[in-house]
Chain A
Amino acid sequence: MAERPEDLNLPNAVITRIIKEALPDGVNISKEARSAISRAASVFVLYATSCANNFAMKGKRKTLNASDVLSAMEEMEFQRFITPLKEALEAYRREQKGKKEASEQKKKDKDKKNDSEEQDKSRDEDNDEDEDKLEEEEQNEEEEVDN
């Protein structure tokens, strides 16, 4: 919980780095401009949270989820963020999946190995190349019969 007002500030070093990376090289950002953007970012978080919460309430949910945040961006007229946010969400889900799989692998390494081998086999069966080869072989057999 926020106990002091400064708990609602974002770290200056990180904010400054993000601004610098966004602007062309060598632009001087005044100290006042930095703190203004930093304050604006905190207000943005509150505004987005409040909008997202409205969507959660409409859906009779108590927990804010990803789709609430995306709907909030649309409502706040930050549609331009939606595509990069969806990409970030996908990347995050992949990362989580990777972590989960890594921990599962530690637990039951053998079972996992067997499962993946079976998956590989089924994938091979679906493979178009293999089917083509089979067809060729069948044709060859027919030709031999004809002879």
Chain B
Amino acid sequence: MADVVVGKEKGGEQRLVSLPLSRIRVIMKSSPEVSSINQEALVLTAKATELFVQYLATYSYRHGTGKDKKALAYSDVANTAEESDTFQFLADILPKKILASKYLTMLQERREAEEEDDDEEECDEDTGS
């Protein structure tokens, strides 16, 4: 990790960052409270994003289930977001997937639980009056 990883341009010349700075700037500026960003902060954020992508990918692969198959799946990335404290901020945008059938049973159970609550409330009202 300590080495500075450099991308390569078409001419074979080495570049500091491979992500497009213009796009990084657009994303940074989409945050309403940010007024201006100097070039060094922009370059550093782009570089940090590259390191982040490398780290998220290697972490998910190492802790994932597809090492035998040499595969990285969505569930590995979603698990990382759920289980690692550092990647916790991703949990909302990388939800764990569940089967539709399982989701429907969950919904059904919740509905039944709510109905029970309603029944109880009705009982309370009955006793109250």
Binding site for B on A (CB under 8 A): 1-2, 7-8, 10-11, 14-15, 17-19, 21-24, 26-30, 32-33, 36-37, 39-50, 52-53, 62-66, 68-70, 73, 76-78, 80-81, 83-85, 87-89, 91-93, 95
Contacts and interface: CB of A to CB of B under 8 A. Distances in A.
Nearest to A7: B26
Given A49-B28, A77-B85, A91-B16, A27 B90 contact: no
Contact of A64 (B38, B69, B71): B38
Contact of A69 (B48, B70, B93): B48
A45 B28 contact: yes
24 contacts: A8-B27, A8-B30, A14-B18, A14-B20, A22-B54, A23-B57, A28-B69, A28-B72, A29-B71, A33-B77, A37-B53, A40-B52, A40-B90, A42-B27, A43-B89, A45-B45, A49-B31, A50-B31, A64-B28, A64-B36, A77-B85, A78-B55, A88-B17, A93-B40
B19 interface: yes
B18 A36 contact: no
Interface size class of B (residues with CB under 8 A): 35 or more
A43 B24 CA distance: 11
Nearest to A19: B57
Given A33-B60, A46-B30, 18 more contacts: A7-B26, A10-B20, A10-B49, A11-B19, A24-B70, A33-B72, A37-B57, A39-B93, A40-B53, A49-B45, A50-B33, A65-B38, A76-B89, A80-B55, A81-B51, A85-B44, A85-B47, A89-B43
A1 B29 CA distance: 7
Contacts, number: 204
Contacts of B2: 83-84, 87
